[in-house]
Chains A and B, each alone.
Chain A
Amino acid sequence: MDGMDIDKLARLAGLHLEETERRRLAPQLEEITRFCSGLPATPGQTSVDPGDAAHAENEGQVVRPLDRRIVRENLPHPDGDLIIAPSPLPETDAS
């Protein structure tokens, strides 16, 4: 997957992959990623290549996309914050 280490990805996602699962998932993810990489850039968008030096220091950071307000108001629990468990992803939510 563009040089991506699936074990590192699994660690970021809070998953542990057994060897058989890893062998099955890795080629599938490569194929899916290739499929999705065909999305055309929209004029004005900056293109950043994987492994770009400018991003090397942030490698492994995952910026979570969701407006927390929207998430909080749709939690399956009326007390909201109670079930915002500590995330297995690094807490770098820009919102």
Chain B
Amino acid sequence: MGWWRMLHTSAMLLAMVLSPSLYARESRRVLSARICLISGQILPRFILLSALVSIVLIHIVVVTAQSYGLSQYALGMVVRVLVVELLPLSAALFVTLRADMAAHTEFAEIQKRGGRLSLVDVGSEPIRLSILPRIIANTVAVISLTTISGALALLIAYLRVYGPTPWGIESFTRTVGQVFEPVVILSLGLKTLLFSLAVATIPVTAGLVGLHNREHAPVTVPQGTVRLFIMLIVIEVCSLTAEFY
């Protein structure tokens, strides 16, 4: 499976996601169930994990900055590193593990039943009721996880630096305003969106190609995982380049 084919298939899947027929009453029910299933499984664990990691990282950064007499830069550094860089990537990787394994299982079942899917047949039931809802649910999961964990990290950072008092809000707000320049906000939004689309489409694309080429099936899915990781790294590097150069 070449990169071009993967990108082409992903683009077709995304185009199908925009199809209004997907949001008809019956499909919407399936879509809601899929969103609940994926987000319900991942969200609590990820929020708990990200909160713990945030507490530890914030503590390390704040204490280290204080020991060097640079505590005024600690909060800005925490927000920049944690909210802008680490949490979106962590959310994407967390959903990747879940989406990749689920895609494996699902396509293995379809393969066992001897089925073959084609993107040409947009209205086919497996694509409409299984694959497209999965893509949307994974996209929503990545964006939700990033947003909620980011908000939680900001709250933890405030409480760690200023304590449970409202007197630090003005200073905190000013620091957040300095970190989130327009370029950084744009970069964060685009990065999260591209992460979510990559995580949602690349495992499904690899699975679909595997159904077409049964002899390559054991290879295509791991290849899809590798490509997904490469794509995530490329997006992250592009984002860092846009932010710092």
Q: Are A and B part of the same complex?
A: no
Residues of A at under 8 Å CB distance from B?
none
